[in-house]
Amino acid sequence: MRRTMRSLSLLVVAACGGSPGPRAPHAPDEPRLIPGVAQQTWYRATTICGQGPYEIELPATGSKYGEEVEVMVHAPHAVALHAELVADGTPVQQTTYGQTPANARCVADTKERLAAGHAGGGFGGGTQVQTGTMVVPPPAASTPPALSIETSNIVQYDELLKFRVPDGAAPHLTIRIWSVEPNDLEGVFFGAADVVWRPNVPEAQWEAHLRAAAERERAEAEAWAKAHPPQVVVVPQETAEERARRERDEQERIRREQERLRLQHERELEDARRRELQAALELQRREARAKYCAAHGEDRDCWGAGGLRVHLDLEAHQREADAYCAAHKEDARCWSAEDWSLRRTTWNKRLDAAAAASTCQPTGAPPAPQGETQPPALSEHATWRPGYWQWTECTWVWLAGQWRVPDSDIAANATTKAPAAPPPPQAETPTPPPVRTAVWIGGFWQWSGSTWVWIAGSWQLPPSPSVTWRPAEWQPRGVVHVLVPGGWIRVR
């Protein structure tokens, strides 16, 4: 719920979860608890894109009459967050905020990673459109993302969570904020407020007020108990005839259920035998037909479309295709329907695991971001999308930062130009794949304007099971060489 903070007192009254609720009008001198803000600070991330985990330290004051912590967020656009409150190292409260973040410039989308057209097509004319490439420099040491204090006046906010600190306790509180996907954090601020409750009268007078109230409640409870003595309820006992009837009914119910299961099992066995018989008859018919046609090549009914010559040509082409595919099992054109089905099943399982609320959903924040060195841009109007952690197949997978190359730059040959061909590719030893669906993307040379820079390879997640990776390449164009960035291309 969106809130407007007109004054400091409005904030702390709104943050009173677990404290005394609304009271009847009271005289000015009636003893009561009143809230006050012990500490309140707003923070912002130091980067535009981020997924945390961000941490805010907030030591409790140990108020004996009530203390609360409220975590807030100010966001000018949609964000999706997880917030967790940790007291002395133990998580005590968690919540989620938002559903679909407005983070297009912070995550890799399908259009960015998928090239239109088909494998083997040409690159000059626009039918093959490349829209980006991944980049993974050698990983640097990971450091927790930073927050800085925001000094401007935040007047609107949404509540993330509230926590009531046990009376008299003074735990060290840590607020941890993170997200599954990186958020666009431009203009987004996180707030933390520590609210304490104190009596409006001297402590001795407040304690006497509490004792008097407890005595009144005890007297009222005793008076009510005298006016409402307990009623004795007599439960009738089940007779022998009723018990015998109930047992007969239960035995009859069990007998009917067993009979139903027996009939159902017999029907299933009969259906299975019928299917097996039909399959055996069909196989026998096909084998008999194939045996007949092998011995009667002159029979036109055995030739198929196009006559005997075309039939023999097709068989020869099929033998050539089988020999090629036996030696090139990685070629997608050689995959059988079963191979495609297996790949689609694997892909769909990964999507289902990412979408369904199950034990494979992340239970904690992603690791700290990996260090990245931004390489030279790949085109005149390329924009940099920083790396981030993606949750897939029940684990966090690092998707490295990449340059987004506009289609217009590729069509206009506005990508990087070098005065000569690049050096031979460097030898790379891939690490073990982080998940089954990951694909190794080899590194390539990039021209910085004065020297060649090697962009290291990495594991990446394909945007679809029907794509393959086309590596980056340098093509000679007159006196220069032009970079054609790598990308995902459709193979089926």
Residue-wise pLDDT tens digits, 405-437: 887 888 788 888 889 899 998 888 888 887 777
* Per-residue pLDDT at 118: 30
Instruction: Name the range with the highest mean pLDDT among 4-8, 119-123, 208-212.
Output: 208-212
Residue 41 burial (C-beta neighbours within 10 Å; 0-12, 13-18, 19+): middle
Take residue 464 and report the two structure tokens written for it.
């679809």
* pLDDT at 442 > cutoff 80: yes
pLDDT, one tens digit per residue, over 231-248 is 777 778 888 888 899 899
pLDDT, one tens digit per residue, over 446-485 is 888 888 988 888 888 787 777 778 888 888 888 888 888 8
pLDDT category, 188, cuts 50, 70, 90? very high
Domain layout of the chain by residue ranges: 2-103+145-202, 247-351, 356-490
165, 171 in Cβ contact below 8 A?
yes
385, 404 in Cβ contact below 8 A?
yes
pLDDT category, 4, cuts 50, 70, 90? very low
pLDDT category, 349, cuts 50, 70, 90? low
pTM of the model: 0.54
148, 54 in Cβ contact below 8 A?
no
* pLDDT at 140 > cutoff 70: no
Averaged pLDDT of the chain: 77
The whole-number average pLDDT for the span 252-259 is 92
The whole-number average pLDDT for the span 153-168 is 83
Closest residue by Cα to residue 472 from 451, 443, 447: 443
* Per-residue pLDDT at 146: 83
* Per-residue pLDDT at 37: 80
Percent of the residues in the chain that have a pLDDT greater than 70, as a whole number: 81
374, 398 in Cβ contact below 8 A?
no
* Per-residue pLDDT at 125: 29
* Per-residue pLDDT at 126: 27
Higher pLDDT, 221 or 298: 221
Residues in Cβ contact with 435 at an 8 Å cutoff, skipping those fewer than 6 apart: 350, 392, 393, 395, 397, 461
* Per-residue pLDDT at 184: 92
Residues in Cβ contact with 12 at an 8 Å cutoff, skipping those fewer than 6 apart: 35, 36, 37, 193, 195
Count Cα neighbours of 167 within 13 Å in the Cβ-side half-sphere: 7
In 328-398, alpha helices (H): 337-355
Closest residue by Cα to residue 373 from 51, 140, 47, 48: 140
The whole-number average pLDDT for the span 32-60 is 85
* Per-residue pLDDT at 112: 43
The whole-number average pLDDT for the span 197-219 is 87
The whole-number average pLDDT for the span 350-375 is 71
79-107 CB burial, b ≥16 within 10 A, e <16 = bbbbbbbbbeeeebeeeebbeebebebbb
* Per-residue pLDDT at 423: 92
* pLDDT at 252 > cutoff 90: yes
Residue with tokens 């005793």: 222
pLDDT, one tens digit per residue, over 78-100 is 999 999 888 888 888 888 898 88
Higher pLDDT, 267 or 21: 267
The whole-number average pLDDT for the span 348-367 is 66
pLDDT category, 19, cuts 50, 70, 90? very low
* Per-residue pLDDT at 138: 42
pLDDT category, 362, cuts 50, 70, 90? confident
* Per-residue pLDDT at 251: 92
Q: Which fold has domain 2-103+145-202?
A: Jelly Rolls (2.60.120)
Distance CA 474, CA 492 (A): 26
* Per-residue pLDDT at 256: 92
